[in-house]
């Protein structure tokens, strides 16, 4: 059965380039991202792992731990990291999960038979501190992931988890947000003291609460 938003993120133990981890213990109280690659030494994924390493401080600012996964073995991963560090001018310091038996890929529905019976699809799972999946993005092998969008989605998830708001189309951090329909109009002023504007009864904007 495929995983959906709101599902509990399956736990697992696995060998990684940073040693063996219990996934839930490793996440602790942090937000988490786990994302997959079809195989080691693939060109698009090399650039993506490099970007993840370069964005280390951005993920740390958001209290988020990142793990990658490929169905190749640990020795292959270690060799690939050397290439990533060299070609992307960075230092990979996050774990890459060795999943030669495809145990984790199967748990996370990363094997799509219509794509490949052996390689993982390129999925990104966003996991909250309660270990619930809050978003899933899946890319084809030919399209590099947009990490500005991954950070934007993470910012939106964290914001909307803490406040009764949603983020509108093309929202960027710092811009106005939409007040949740669950908030009654008579409660809006107290809940959103920065002010608000009503476009329609169901479409109400307010400045981002945590800025």
> Using one digit for the tens of pLDDT, what is the confidence trace for 98-153?
999 989 988 998 876 656 555 666 899 999 999 999 999 988 888 999 999 999 99
d(CA 67, CA 35): 7
Residue from 162, 178, 161 nearest 170 by CA? 178
Query: Which residues participate in catalysis according to the annotation?
Result: 45
Query: Do 23 and 122 belong to one domain?
Result: yes
How many distinct structural domains can be found in the chain? 2
Each residue's pLDDT tens digit in the chain (211 positions)? 589 999 999 999 999 999 999 999 999 999 999 999 888 999 999 999 999 999 999 999 999 999 999 989 999 999 999 999 999 999 999 999 999 998 998 899 887 665 655 566 689 999 999 999 999 998 888 899 999 999 999 999 999 999 999 999 999 999 999 999 999 999 999 999 999 999 999 999 999 999 8
Phi-psi sector, 167: left (phi>0), alpha (psi -120 to 50), beta: beta
Query: Do 24 and 120 belong to one domain?
Result: yes
Phi-psi sector, 24: left (phi>0), alpha (psi -120 to 50), beta: alpha
pLDDT at 130: 98
Is residue 131 assigned to a domain? Answer: yes
Query: Do 93 and 194 belong to one domain?
Result: no
Residue from 174, 173, 176, 182 nearest 202 by CA? 182
The CATH number for 61's domain is 3.40.30.10
Query: Do 31 and 135 belong to one domain?
Result: yes
Cα separation values, 43 from 11, 123, 144, 174, Å: 29, 16, 10, 34
Contact 71, 107 (CB under 8 A): no
The number of C-alpha atoms within 13 Å of 170 and in the hemisphere containing its C-beta is 0
Domain that holds residue 184: 163-206
């Amino acid at each position: 059965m495929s995983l959906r938003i709101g599902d509990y993120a399956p736990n697992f133990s696995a060998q990684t380039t940073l040693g063996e981890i219990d996934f839930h213990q490793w996440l602790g109280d942090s937000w988490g991202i786990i994302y997959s690659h079809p195989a080691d030494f693939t060109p698009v994924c090399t650039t993506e792992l490099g970007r993840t390493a370069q964005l280390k401080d951005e993920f740390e600012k958001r209290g988020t731990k990142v793990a990658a996964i490929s169905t190749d073995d640990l020795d292959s991963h270690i060799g690939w990291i050397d290439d990533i560090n060299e070609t992307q001018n960075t230092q990979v310091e996050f774990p890459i999960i060795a999943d030669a038996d495809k145990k984790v890929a199967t748990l996370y529905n990363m094997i799509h038979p219509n794509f490949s019976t052996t390689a993982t699809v390129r999925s990104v799972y966003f996991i909250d501190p309660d270990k619930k999946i809050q978003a899933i993005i899946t890319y084809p092998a030919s399209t590099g992931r947009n990490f500005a969008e991954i950070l934007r989605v993470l910012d939106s998830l964290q914001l909307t988890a803490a406040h009764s708001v949603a983020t509108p189309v093309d929202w960027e951090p710092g811009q106005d947000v939409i007040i949740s329909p669950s908030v009654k109009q008579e409660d809006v002023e107290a809940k959103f003291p920065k002010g608000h504007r009503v476009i329609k009864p169901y479409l109400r904007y307010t400045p981002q609460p945590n800025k």
